[in-house]
Structure 1
Amino acid sequence: MARLVMILLGVDYLRTRWRGLLRMGCLSMLLGVAMFVDALDNALYFPMTPFAVVLLLEGLATLVVARSGIGGQRTLRQVKGVSFCFAAVLILVGHHHGNFVLSMIFGTLFLADGLLQIVSARVVRFRTWRLAVAVGVFEILVAIFFYQPYPTHYVGTVPYCLGLGLIFGGWNMLLLASRLRRLDRNPGMDEADGVPAAAAQATDRAAAAGSADAPDLTIWDGPPEPGEHALTVHVWTPVGSARGEARRQPLVDRYIAAVDRDGAISTGHAALESPEGIYISLYPAEEIDRSPDEFTRILRATRENDVGGKFQPDYPTEARAWCPSTVRVRIRNYDPERLRRFWDAYRQNTTYNLTNRNCSSTVSHALEAALEGASARVWRQARGWRPLWRLLTTPELWVAAQIRKRAKTMAWTPGLTLDYARALSMLADPRPSGWASMTRMALGQMRRHRQDWRQAARAQAGKAGVPGDGPVAGGIDAANVGNAGNAGSVRQAAND
């Protein structure tokens, strides 16, 4: 997650804050170690009950404001709220059963993630696959640690998890802070995406020159309108781009590939389009054999699977030659100059690899280059560490970080790129907070009720003033006579 934070905050925000990141990393590691050591015996000093109460309140608050979200945002907040409430209830229940269930859940998550990482690394064989296997083995060892009752009979499950999270997060902060000291590019970007210092400084000076007159960016209520200036990520899903009717395989046809009735495999496609005329769509120069017998071999990200590639000229040409994109994700807040700089360097190499350098990885890297510093641009009117805090408290950041981690250890696919682009769109073009949306909805409902009451009152007043109603009409005439007499008395007194 730390790498994604570095990308979204950008070089401009990080240059003067590497010391702060270093201190935060050290503090996080110290707190994590202290919390983990404290949980090794049955005498816990960690405030479990207050922590569970805060977790429960956060979960309930998230569920309350979840209905104000849009689409996937609503689902994400509902999942977060239910998870927080479930974990809080288990902690409050305590004793043996609650701690045991929590320990089994955490152990299963670590075990599944470790096994998936090992299997995918062995199959794909990307450049750092041995390191990924080692990390997967470590996750399996952590899972075993959670499964077995020693030394506290599951009492220290929650402090273990919090301690490990603080340790890993602090370690990442230390690594990134050390790289910030000799900054020549964004330390969160991959080497293929990085930009030399001279080019970066030129762009930064141009951005700084124009930032004084640029209006402060704000939050938006929804995605860009069709005619609005925005970056577009085109995704052809495996099912949507299959030549024939695809066999339904949940998750597999969403994130990996779809197989039609004839056995042909469709992996989908991804492209990126900007209003400035940049269109990034990498495709193999010659069709790759994707038969089931050869598919396992070509999944390896090795040099023998490198083939020649070609970049499509524009979206209309590609759509006419194939079919329109299945899904589009549009983002307002991006940097056209950084995107152009990335594209000028990236298109010099036309190599295509099904897992290591494919259409989805190309689009994901281009999207990261275009969104570098997006969060800092949105919150640039805020001072100090507030942009970092706002970013860390956004649930989509955690989703995007997990997607990026999974894609780096496996391969970028159109399905992962689609989810990644959606999550980044919520970070680059932030929506109103849940409480702000709920407040606005409540005020709007109160305003509508007030208007309904006024209309009902006018309707009743209109019915009361209709001619022909004997008593009412007589009362009105009598009142008019009385008022006329009073008016005459007033005029007489005035003349006197």
Structure 2
Amino acid sequence: MVRLVMILLGVDYLRTRWRSLQLIGWVSLVLGVVVFIDALDSALFFPITPFAILLLLEGLATLAVAWTGMGGQRTLRYVKGLAFCVAAALILAGHHHGHFILSMIFGTLFLADGLLQIVSAKVVRYRTWRLAMIGGGVEIALAIFFYQPYPTHYVGTVPYCLGLGLMFGGWNMILLSTRVRRLASNPAVASNDASADAANSAASAVAGGRLSVVEWDGPPAADEDALTVHVWTPVGSSKGEARRQLIVDRYIAAVDRNGVISTGHAALESPEGIYISLYPGVEIDRSPDDFARLLRATRENDVPGVFQPNYPTESKAWCPSTVQVRIRNYDPVRLRRFWDAYRQDTTYNLTHRNCSSTVSRALEAAIEGASARVWGGLGGWRPFLRVITTPELWVAAQLRKRAATMAWTPGLTLDYARALSMLADPRPSGWVKMARLAVRRMVRSRQQWREEERGATASQEAGGGHGAGVVRD
């Protein structure tokens, strides 16, 4: 999440506030430790009932406005609202059963994530796979802590989670402040030439500027210039009829009736003529026997790659992309700088440097500073608060973490692009949209009443005039 915040707000915005960020981080970290320690005995000072009521109100409020979202945003709001309501209900239910169920849920989530991280790190063997295995071990230890009843017999489940959340959030804030203090530019998009970085940053500021629009009601129109992420899903690009496998054929690969594996594909296209689509120069044998070996992100699996010239050529040679994600608020200068440097190396690796990882990195380069361009005019801390309170930031951070510990796949890139599109091109909040709809309905109703009154008045005048004529006759 630290890297995503740096990308979305830009280093310049955060560097001027590094001291405040560090102070907030330390306060959150200390407060989290205090809350966690307080929960280790049965005498809880944490106001758990008011917290549950606030959680329930937030869940109900989210569900009330969830229908105003679009696509994945609507689904995310429903999931968030239901999760908050269920958690609040279990807390308010109290006694042993509510706390026990809640503790089992949290323990299972930590256990599943830890096991997945360890297994994927062991299989893929990327550069920092040992650190990832240690992190997975910590998650499993937390799962065991939640599963066993000692020391509070599950009564301290909520304060435990809140304390852990405050500690991890504070630690991330400290890391963020430390990094932006020392950086002259964003490492996600920086080149090796400092003078070129400065020149490109200045040109980028002129090209991007401050946007006059701070939110959009929906995705870009078909005739509107926008950055496009093309995704060929494993099922959609399979040569034969795919055997449906839940989650696997969405995020990893699809297998057709003949046993042929399809992993899908991803590409990025900009209105300025940039097309980024990395493909192996020689078709990789993806039979089930060799597939496990190819998953390792090691140098022996590097093969020469080629960049496709443009979307019409690629789609004609293969098939049209299954899904497209379009983003208005991007920086063409930073995208061009990334592309000029990245295309010098054509190496392809199925898990370490593939089409999806290439598109994801290019997308991050293109949207650097997007939130600052949208909300920079608000001033102060409001841009930072808008970013960290957007649910899609958490979703994007989790997707990025999963891809970093496993591998970027077209399915992960698709969800990542959708989440980033909500951050780069923010949609109106549910309450704002509901207020707008209410105002529009009030205006329409008022206009309708006026028209009805005018019609009634006209009818009365017409009837009165006819009666007067009859009397005169």
Q: Same fold (TM over 0.5)?
A: yes
Letter in 2 for 1:273: E
438-447 or 240-249, larger mean C-alpha shift: 438-447
State the match for 1:442 in structure 2. 438
User: Aligned pair 1:138/2:135, yes or no?
Assistant: no
Residue 282 of structure 1 is aligned with which of 275, 278, 284?
A: 278
Contact in 2 for aligned 1:22/1:174 (Cα 8 Å)? yes
User: Aligned pair 1:401/2:397, yes or no?
Assistant: yes
State the match for 1:417 in structure 2. 413
Contact in 2 for aligned 1:12/1:204 (Cα 8 Å)? no
Cα drift, residue 26 of structure 1? 1.1
State the match for 2:247 in structure 1. 251
Question: Using a 3 Å threshold, how does the CA distance of structure 1 residues 209 and 463 change in structure 2: closer, same or farther?
Answer: closer
**Percent of aligned pairs with the same residue?**
72
Residue 191 of structure 2 is aligned with which of 192, 195, 209?
A: 195
242-251 or 412-421, larger mean C-alpha shift: 242-251
State the match for 2:27 in structure 1. 27
Letter in 1 for 2:6: M
RMSD: 2.0
User: Aligned pair 1:74/2:70, yes or no?
Assistant: no
Tell me the distance in 2 between the aligned counterparts of 1:244 and 1:210.
Answer: 46
Q: Deviations over 1:438-472 (max 9, x none)?
A: 011112222333344445455556666677xxxx6
Question: Using a 3 Å threshold, how does the CA distance of structure 1 residues 345 and 456 change in structure 2: closer, same or farther?
Answer: same
Letter in 1 for 2:55: L
Structure 2 length as normaliser, TM-score? Answer: 0.95
333-342 or 47-56, larger mean C-alpha shift: 47-56
Residue 363 of structure 1 is aligned with which of 346, 359, 363?
A: 359
Counterpart secondary structure, 2:378: coil
Cα drift, residue 97 of structure 1? 1.4
State the match for 1:487 in structure 2. none
Cα drift, residue 247 of structure 1? 1.0
Q: Deviations over 1:42-90 (max 9, x none)?
A: 1111111111111111111111111111111111101111111111111
Q: Deviations over 1:107-151 (max 9, x none)?
A: 000000001111111111111111111111110000000001111
Contact in 2 for aligned 1:236/1:268 (Cα 8 Å)? yes
User: Aligned pair 1:334/2:330, yes or no?
Assistant: yes
Contact in 2 for aligned 1:124/1:300 (Cα 8 Å)? yes
Letter in 2 for 1:36: F
Counterpart secondary structure, 1:233: strand
Cα drift, residue 320 of structure 1? 1.1
Tell me the distance in 1 between the aligned counterparts of 2:462 and 2:37.
Answer: 83
State the match for 1:58 in structure 2. 58
Question: Using a 3 Å threshold, how does the CA distance of structure 1 residues 184 and 438 change in structure 2: closer, same or farther?
Answer: same
Cα drift, residue 21 of structure 1? 1.9
Letter in 2 for 1:71: G
Letter in 1 for 2:374: V
Question: Using a 3 Å threshold, how does the CA distance of structure 1 residues 267 and 208 change in structure 2: closer, same or farther?
Answer: closer
Letter in 2 for 1:318: E
Matches for 1:232-381 after TM superposition, within 5 Å:
232-381=228-377
Q: Deviations over 1:2-49 (max 9, x none)?
A: 221111111221221222221122111111111111111111111111
Cα drift, residue 199 of structure 1? 2.9
Tell me the distance in 1 between the aligned counterparts of 2:208 and 2:250.
Answer: 41
Question: Using a 3 Å threshold, how does the CA distance of structure 1 residues 286 and 269 change in structure 2: closer, same or farther?
Answer: same
Question: Using a 3 Å threshold, how does the CA distance of structure 1 residues 405 and 480 change in structure 2: closer, same or farther?
Answer: farther
Tell me the distance in 1 between the aligned counterparts of 2:253 and 2:394.
Answer: 25
User: Which entry has the higher C-alpha Rg, 1 or 2?
Assistant: 1
Cα drift, residue 475 of structure 1? 4.2
User: Aligned pair 1:168/2:168, yes or no?
Assistant: yes
Q: Deviations over 1:319-367 (max 9, x none)?
A: 1111111111000000111111111111111100000000000000000
Tell me the distance in 1 between the aligned counterparts of 2:137 and 2:262.
Answer: 32
Counterpart secondary structure, 1:232: strand
State the match for 2:18 in structure 1. 18
Tell me the distance in 1 between the aligned counterparts of 2:334 and 2:118.
Answer: 35
Tell me the distance in 2 between the aligned counterparts of 1:294 and 1:211.
Answer: 46
State the match for 1:159 in structure 2. 159
Letter in 1 for 2:389: T
277-286 or 440-449, larger mean C-alpha shift: 440-449
170-179 or 95-104, larger mean C-alpha shift: 170-179
Question: Using a 3 Å threshold, how does the CA distance of structure 1 residues 141 and 215 change in structure 2: closer, same or farther?
Answer: closer
Tell me the distance in 1 between the aligned counterparts of 2:79 and 2:401.
Answer: 20
Letter in 1 for 2:433: S
Cα drift, residue 209 of structure 1? 4.9
Matches for 1:186-225 after TM superposition, within 5 Å:
186=186, 189=188, 193-196=189-192, 197-209=194-206, 215-225=211-221
Tell me the distance in 2 between the aligned counterparts of 1:99 and 1:180.
Answer: 40
Question: Using a 3 Å threshold, how does the CA distance of structure 1 residues 299 and 210 change in structure 2: closer, same or farther?
Answer: closer
Contact in 2 for aligned 1:185/1:195 (Cα 8 Å)? no
Question: Using a 3 Å threshold, how does the CA distance of structure 1 residues 182 and 473 change in structure 2: closer, same or farther?
Answer: closer
**Which runs of 5 or more residues in structure 2 are unaligned?**
none
Tell me the distance in 1 between the aligned counterparts of 2:312 and 2:186.
Answer: 34
Tell me the distance in 2 between the aligned counterparts of 1:480 and 1:305.
Answer: 104
Tell me the distance in 2 between the aligned counterparts of 1:51 and 1:323.
Answer: 52
Tell me the distance in 2 between the aligned counterparts of 1:476 and 1:50.
Answer: 72
Question: Using a 3 Å threshold, how does the CA distance of structure 1 residues 211 and 223 change in structure 2: closer, same or farther?
Answer: closer
419-428 or 160-169, larger mean C-alpha shift: 160-169
User: Aligned pair 1:103/2:86, yes or no?
Assistant: no
Structure 1 length as normaliser, TM-score? Answer: 0.91
State the match for 1:2 in structure 2. 2
Contact in 1 for aligned 2:376/2:383 (Cα 8 Å)? yes
Counterpart secondary structure, 1:437: helix
Tell me the distance in 1 between the aligned counterparts of 2:419 and 2:205.
Answer: 27
**Which runs of 5 or more residues in structure 1 are unaligned?**
482-496
User: Aligned pair 1:386/2:387, yes or no?
Assistant: no
Contact in 2 for aligned 1:279/1:315 (Cα 8 Å)? yes
Tell me the distance in 2 between the aligned counterparts of 1:251 and 1:317.
Answer: 31
Counterpart secondary structure, 1:308: strand
Tell me the distance in 2 between the aligned counterparts of 1:407 and 1:167.
Answer: 24
Q: How many residues align?
A: 472
Tell me the distance in 2 between the aligned counterparts of 1:291 and 1:405.
Answer: 28
